A and B are shown apart, each in its own frame.
Chain A
Amino acid sequence: MENKILAIAEVKQGIIKNNTFELLTTARKLAESLQCPFEAITVSDLTQEQLNILSEYGVENLYNIKLSDLNAKSPISNIKYSHSAISRVVADFILSGNYTIVLLSATSFGKEIAPSLAIKTEAALGVDLIDLKVENGNLIATKPVYAGKAQVDLEFKSERVVLSLRPNVFKAEKMNSTSFTVHNIEISNITDSDFKTVVSEIVLSSGKLDVAEADKIVSGGRGLKGPENFHLIEELASVLGAATGASRAVVDAGWRPHSEQVGQTGKTVSPSLYIACGISGAIQHLAGMSSSKCIVAINKDKDAPIFQVADYGIVGDVFEILPKLTEELKKIL
């Protein structure tokens, strides 16, 4: 089969996810190395005008499956979307268009549908990738394992691959498309049994950034001494426009919600700035954040392991340093 790339552009609650721009850039570069076409698909209710932004990333043909039309086929009314039904229509599109490389983002949505897409399209599956290259015409995909304590290069032995890219790792670079056409796809052959799971409601935590998506993170650990002192973390995060994170110790102690936990049994993150406050740096925490681009550690113990992965650090009292840091940043931000 001739190579042909399809990028699945993710639209959530009517918004094109930033990861999609990383995805399209990666797809375009891969298409250049393999000298093959690349196209994109989305399942959304966005207008042509709203979809035009994708033309800034070099894609010429965008296929759109109207989400409201798909949802209307559901046996249950008023659904937000159905992972299984989306997987069905996208898989049918992959098969009918003979795409050999399918790219999507390793977001909650992408992680949920990638395995079923791989089975439906008889593809090999590579997930949560941090690098993708072509060697002698073969794809080599790099994936962190053991929460980032090691990494593996994967190779694939199948005609088709489904690959999910870790968010915030691949660069998004603009390049205007020479032409841009949105093709609307008719939905056919979908039955009640394709709606195996349906999302009836989405509740977002009130205005809080999620650590998994944030470009900057301020995390707190045991050094904060109690949940009542996390306002220091929140204030610093607020000045930076950062998400708040936490170590496992403070999540297990019930000081912070699990959704904030960074590390091997929490979230693995790669923000451009990660500030670890009062976190000693247990190996399972380091695993989750050491791929951050710039790491700042603030801890009273100069021998704490966190300093070994830090780009910048201050040995000292978090209760003195955090308010001062917040104050200094306020002056310039």
Chain B
Amino acid sequence: MKIAVCVSLVPDTTTKIKVDSDNKSINENGVSFVLNPYDEFAVEEAIRTKEKFGGDVTVISFGTEAYKEAIKKAFQMTADQGILIKTSSKNFDSFTVAKNLAEVLKTENYDIIFFGKQSIDYDGHIIPSMVGELLGLPAINDVVKLNIEGTKVTVEREVEGGKETIFANLPAIIGTQKGLNEPRYPSLKNIMAAKSKPIKEISPIEIEPLVNVKEMRLPPVKGKGKIFEGVESVPELVRLLKEEAKVI
């Protein structure tokens, strides 16, 4: 099976976000960047699919030189080769990313293409479905269970208050949600082996973005709350919720 997994690099979830002086992006000083957490499920599922059906796993990323770190993390989890669509620009929208990934993906006949359901920077939840649309392939996001039989896939997709069972034919795009699998910890041997795996660099197609960031800012700060001590303040809390906050 020819398997692809598309990955991104994001600030670690413990990052305290500061807005940069351009008022359009975050200040990256001191921020530690990691493989997007949802992409870990995508890489793990790609590897498990390879282990079950044979084949190889190509990791693809659209981003700056630094994004090689995300590809290398996937290598440590035993992905085979990487492609970086290397941009120096910070001014791109989700369509630019989707279009560039689609252009690369269509050069090979991948049987299945994995994505994390969204990257935890812009939280768009856009790219898997957009790439699917651009390639004319079925795309299913928020997948928590995947079963491949021949050329058919059956998935469970997490929705509000429950799950949907969805059918599609391969080739297909799968967006992975937490719960699908437990990503493996790379072994020392695989960490060493990852160092010699190839990353091919290619140039992006330049696209004028359709969506621009006009301004980035921190969310409005709340006033100081009323904090009490001990169980005896429970009746007062209930009174305030009813009479002041009017939420019960």
Contact = CB atoms under 8 A, between A and B. Distances in A.
B219 A202 contact: no
A186 interface: no
B212 A146 contact: no
A290 B219 contact: yes
B215 A152 contact: yes
Contacts of A265: 13, 37-38, 120, 178
Most interface-central of A108, A128, A266 (chain B CB within 10 A): A108
A204 B142 CA distance: 16
Given A115-B129, A311-B226, A333-B248, A127 B124 contact: yes
Interface string A281-321: 01110000011011111000010000101111111110011
B165 A203 contact: yes
Contact of B13 (A198, A204, A284, A313): A284
Given A146-B26, A147-B120, A213-B161, A316 B229 contact: yes
Nearest to B220: A151
B126 interface: yes
Interface size class of B (residues with CB under 8 A): 35 or more
A73 interface: no
B57 interface: no
A320 B232 CA distance: 10
Interface stretch (B69-77, B133-141, B197-205): B133-141
A108 B159 contact: yes
Given A125-B95, A266-B178, A115 B138 contact: no
Interface in B1-29: 11, 13-17, 19, 24, 26
A148 B166 CA distance: 31
A283 B16 contact: yes
Contact of B158 (A125, A259, A264, A333): A259
B242 A332 contact: yes
B96 to A, nearest CB: 12
Nearest to B37: A265
B216 interface: yes
A116 B121 contact: no
A196 B138 CA distance: 5
Contacts of A2: none
B218 interface: yes
B104 interface: no
B120 A212 contact: no
A151 B37 contact: no
Contact of B130 (A115, A282, A291): A115
B217 A150 contact: yes
B234 A312 contact: no
A114 B127 CA distance: 11
The 8 closest A-B pairs by CB, nearest first: A124-B210, A204-B162, A196-B138, A115-B129, A108-B159, A210-B161, A115-B130, A284-B13
Interface of A: 76, 80, 84, 107-109, 111-116, 118-120, 124-128, 140, 143-158, 196-205, 208-210, 212-213, 216, 240, 257-259, 261, 264-266, 268, 272-273, 282-284, 290-291, 293-297, 302, 307, 309-317, 320-321, 324-325, 328-329, 332-333
17 contacts: A115-B94, A145-B123, A145-B216, A150-B218, A152-B217, A153-B215, A196-B132, A203-B165, A210-B161, A258-B179, A272-B247, A284-B13, A297-B225, A312-B225, A312-B237, A312-B245, A317-B231
